[in-house]
Every structure is written in structure tokens, then in C-alpha cells.
Structure 1
Amino acid sequence: LDQLQSSLLTEHDGPGDVLNKASRLLSDVTKMAGVVTLPRRETVTLRHIEFLPMSNTRVLVIFVTDGQEVHNKIIHTDRLYSPAELQQAANYLNSVFAGRSLAKIRDLILKEMEQDRSQVNQGMMDAVSMARLTFAQQPKDDYVLSGETNLMGFSELSDMERLKQLFEAFSQKRGVIHLLDQCLLAEGVQIFIGEESGYRAFDHCSLVTSSYSINDEVVGVLGVIGPTRMAYEKVIPFVDVTAKLLGAALNSK
């Protein structure tokens, strides 16, 4: 437990490093596949935003979220903005949106867009328009997977057709994400044995998962994928404690 704690709570690691480490730990300790979904962007909190002019109507957006994570995005605006206008827009958005989650920001943007334009100055409308482009709905969340080749060592999974199905599922991601999403709503450890998952690629596997939280809000899921005859009495408590420690590590970032 101490080794697990010290590994995840390393001071200089960013949130991405911590997620990768958690996935590798799950795999290394269980000798199966470890999976960790990335925190849902909806729950991430905005700290600061800046706009930098590029060529023509292209603007580079730099925004900082929880854990000092820096994101870059290029947006295409409907007209050319001067550096002073971009600074004014950033100042306004930082004063209104800093400290709020991206989901809340989207709600506020919709409300601002619905306001009577005669009551709102052009600078504010420009700022909200740029925020809308920046925080448009993100694609489906991703996950980090480690140790999938470990599964080739189990006799019940060594059938080439089964392995092919499984590895295709890992690369396509959509079905795995859908299955892990169901675990977001559950409290404690969830166990799917064989066909219980309802996902054909996992018919000969078991999945043991637990959700993890940041600031008391469930943001993701981690788990172990392995054969149906795994040592559940060891895997279940390990998955449970790893989820708690991952949440603690991300809270400290």
C-alpha cells in the first residue's frame, strides 16, 4: 500500500502522468490489463484563459484548468480581432468564468447568447462568441490502457479469434468506453463476469472497476480486465484502494 501511495502521489507528476501510472500499476500488480478513463472534461474547472492572434481570423486559445494543466486550441473567428480586443475578451471571460466547470460555462454561454443584444455591448458579445468556439462540446472521453498483452498468457483467452475481437475492441474504444460509462453511476466496486457485461468482445473476460473522484465529484473509472477465473479476493480490494488513491493524487494537483 505504501509503495502504491508513493508511486501515485509523486509531487512533480502532472494529472496525465498520474493516470498513466495508475493504469500501469493495475497491470503490473495484477498481471492483467489495467484501464483508467480520463477525467470527464465537463467537470474540469477553468483557471485562466488567453487569446493570441495568428494569421487572418485564426486565434490561438490558451486555457489553464485544474492542476495547472495547459490546453491549446485554434479557433476561427468571423472577423479579424486586434490584440487589444483579444485581451479585452480574455479579461472579461476570466472575470466571469474562472473557477467554474466547463459544463457550467457552457450553460452560461447559452444564457448570454440568448440575451437581448441591445442590452449587451459588442465587446461582451465577441468574448462570449469566442468562448463558445473554445468550449464547444468535446468528443467522447478517452482512456489509458496498459498490459493488454498480458491477456495473451491466459489459456481461456489464448484463442486467436477471441484475442482478435478483444484487441479490436481496445483499439476502437467506443464499446469499452460505453461499458465503463455505466460504472460511473455505481458506488463502490463493480464486477462484470463474462457475458454479464453485455459486450460481446468481453464474453470470456471479467472486468472489475471502481469510480474515482475529484473534489467529491465522480469524474472517471479505473479497472482491471482479465480472465473470468481471476483471483477476485485480491483484485477487488486492489482496484478499490487504487481508485481512492488516484482521486487523492488528482485532488493534490
Structure 2
Amino acid sequence: MDERARVLLKTLIERYIADGQPIGSRTLSRASGLELSAATIRNVMADLEDLGLITSPHTSAGRVPTPRGYRLFVDTMLTVHPVTGTDDVGENFRSQLATVEPQKVIVQAAQLLSNLSHFVGVVMSPRRNAAFRHIEFLRLSEQRILVILVDAGGDVQNRIILTDQPYTQSQLTEAANYLNANYSGLSFEQVAGHLRGEVEHLRSEIVTLMQAAVAVGSQALAEQQEQVVISGQQQLLNVEDLSGNLASLRRLFDLFEQKSHLLKLLDVSARAEGVRIYIGGENDVVPFEELSVITAPYEVDGKVVGTLGVIGPTRMAYDRMIQIVDITAKLVSNALSQR
């Protein structure tokens, strides 16, 4: 593709993002600044269409970008300008986070992303060290036991286990003391391995109790790790490109409800450096052609622990969204690292 075609493609996509209307040759001639005849521009647009970069809706003579066209645009043509108004937002966000616990940082970050972008903000909660710091057992009845678990980050989880046999409180205390003295700081997977091979000297009923506690504790931490905070789903109802298609909106809200695909996407993003852009329809990471996702990892003390991002229509101001996501990732990293 020669420079002339690149300029026309860049201009077409920028005008379409701004106006939301298919772009005709006359509009493109005025906006591009190139002294080309309408016939020449039509020929270039036909070539771009043959390359799969633009397409012509049935209802218009103008052209709109395809996912492939958007990908070329964001990878090679996009110019990112500083977003105005984010300095004050950043200061307010820092002050709000000064005294709140980590989970509230995550919630407020999702709200900030949605408020700044006017789309959907998503944040994957920090990956936690799947280890326990302390465990206690409390006898509720003969065969119902409350497991009180403190994880490596200091968060407390309560779970109830049902046993096949009754335990006295002294037996529960013995089991908890053994786990705390020998395995505190290990992951539950490591503890389970030790319990299978190193505790022949313990009574079998105590080992059974500890194995049940390890299983329920591992599940509790896994549930915590899978948390995704979503804010601003209703913003999509105001997006012209989406609001007219109820079937698409229903599929999108199913995506937010199930969260499993979002988790997969955010987990992939956490293994990449910097801001990443996923354009709907170009691969199976974002299965909806109407959506694009901009993500960035965030860190605690220099180590990536999670991902955040913005979900919005494919026709979005990518330069602005990149800045919003990048700034929010830095704010969250700073807030969590200062804990």
C-alpha cells in the first residue's frame, strides 16, 4: 500500500470514528488534503476494499472500516495525544485511594475507567498468593465445623465443612495447631502433598479433617482469584452503534454476566507488556464484531498481579482510550504498591 492509500485510509477511519457515518469520496477528498480527483479516490477506495480494509454498507455509497482496517490503523497510523482533564481526575483518585483497602481500589478503578471512557470498565482482581497464613477450626455441631482461613494477603475467609464423624474442640485445636506450625506460608497444593506423604504419625481422623480443610480452603482462594469487577454496562445502551441491535446487546450482557470469557481475555492480557488493543471479529479473543477491548496490566511492587481495561464499540477514539487505560493502570499500581 502506497503513501497515498495510507493517508486516505487513515483519514477515512478518523472521520468515521468522529462522525459515525459511512465516508464517501467527496468527504474524503476534502478531509485528506490530497489534491486528487474523485475518480482517483474511488479507485484507491476500491483497492482498499479489495484488501479487506474497508467495506461498503448496503445502504450507502460510502465506506466504513473493517476489523482488519482498524487493526492496521491502531498498529501503524494511530497518533496518541495527551488526554485533557485526567490530571485532576488522577489527583482525586489518589486521594480517594489513600485510606481504602485493596478491593475498594479495584472497584473504584473500574468506576473510573467507565466514567472517563463512557463505556464499560473492567478490572481483574489481583492474583493472590494461594497460600494461607493462619487457620482455625470452630465446632458448630457434632459434624459441622467452621473453617476460619487467613490468606497470605491478610484477608479472612470463612467456610463450613461437614464431616462423617464428630470432632471435639480439642481435636480441632490439635489439627489447626499442626497446620499452622508446619505449613503456614505454603500453598494448599503443597500442603495437600505433605498430608499425603508425611503424616503417618498423626491419627487418621485428624488427617481426614485437615485434608477436608485444605480442599475447602483451596476452593475459597480460587473463588477469590476469579473475581472480575465490571462497571458501566448500562453505558452501552447509549452507544448508537449497539443500541439498535437488541440481539447483540443481549449477547454482550450475557458476556458480562458469565465473566468466564472476560477472565480468559484479561488473563491473556496480563502476560503482555503495556497497553493491548483487541478488535472484535479479528480473532476469538473478542468474539463480538461490535466490540473492541483495550487492556493494560497493573503491578504491585514491580510484579504484574492483574489486568484492567475498557470495553466499548469498535468505533471508538482509540487514542483517548489508550491514554485512559494506561493512566488508570499506573494509578492502581501506585495505590496498591503503597499498601
CA contact (8 A) 2:199 2:207 kept: no
Match of 1:109 among 165, 169, 192: 192
Query: In 1, Cα distance between the equivalents of 2:152 and 2:331?
Result: 18
CA contact (8 A) 1:47 1:64 kept: yes
Answer yes or no: is 1:143 the counterpart of 2:216: no
Greater shift in the superposed pair: 60-69 or 150-159: 60-69
Q: Deviations over 1:187-212 (max 9, x none)?
A: 22111012135256531111011122
CA contact (8 A) 2:296 2:325 kept: yes
User: 1:247–1:189: structure 2 CA closer, same or farther, 3 Å change rule?
Assistant: same
Q: Deviations over 1:8-45 (max 9, x none)?
A: x231x22222211111111111111001122335x244
What is the match of residue 272 of structure 2?
Answer: 186
Q: Secondary structure at the match of 1:109?
A: helix
Query: In 1, Cα distance between the equivalents of 2:250 and 2:94?
Result: 35
Query: In 1, Cα distance between the equivalents of 2:301 and 2:185?
Result: 13
User: 1:82–1:252: structure 2 CA closer, same or farther, 3 Å change rule?
Assistant: farther
Read off the aligned partner of 2:121 and give its amino acid letter: G
Q: Deviations over 1:26-85 (max 9, x none)?
A: 1111111001122335x2442322110112211101112245322111112332221122
User: 1:230–1:96: structure 2 CA closer, same or farther, 3 Å change rule?
Assistant: farther
Match of 1:27 among 104, 114, 118: 114
Q: Which residues in structure 2 correspond to 1:81-92 (within 5 Å)?
A: 81-92=167-178
| TM-score normalised by structure 2 residue count | 0.65
Give how far 1:153 is off. Answer: 1.6
Match of 1:228 among 314, 318, 323: 314
Give how far 1:247 is off. Answer: 3.3
5+ residue gaps, structure 2, are 1-89
What is the match of residue 138 of structure 2?
Answer: 52
Q: Over aligned residues, Cα RMSD in angstroms?
A: 2.5
What is the match of residue 92 of structure 2?
Answer: 3
Q: Which residues in structure 2 correspond to 1:56-75 (within 5 Å)?
A: 56-75=142-161
Larger relative contact order (Cα-Cα within 8 Å, sequence gap ≥ 6): 1
Please list every run of at least 4 consecutive aligned residues from structure 1 whose deviation after the TM superposition is greater than 6 angstroms: none
Q: Secondary structure at the match of 1:79?
A: coil
Give how far 1:236 is off. Answer: 1.4
What is the match of residue 16 of structure 1?
Answer: 103
What is the match of residue 121 of structure 1?
Answer: 202
Structure with more of its chain in strand, by fraction: 1
User: 1:166–1:96: structure 2 CA closer, same or farther, 3 Å change rule?
Assistant: same
Query: In 2, Cα distance between the equivalents of 1:39 and 1:244?
Result: 14
Q: Secondary structure at the match of 1:195?
A: coil
5+ residue gaps, structure 1, are none
User: 1:45–1:212: structure 2 CA closer, same or farther, 3 Å change rule?
Assistant: farther
Q: Secondary structure at the match of 1:166?
A: helix
CA contact (8 A) 1:166 1:201 kept: no
Answer yes or no: is 1:133 the counterpart of 2:215: yes
Count of matched residue pairs: 245
Identity within the alignment, %: 38
Give how far 1:215 is off. Answer: 4.9
In our comparison, the structure showing a higher alpha carbon Rg is 2
Read off the aligned partner of 2:151 and give its amino acid letter: T
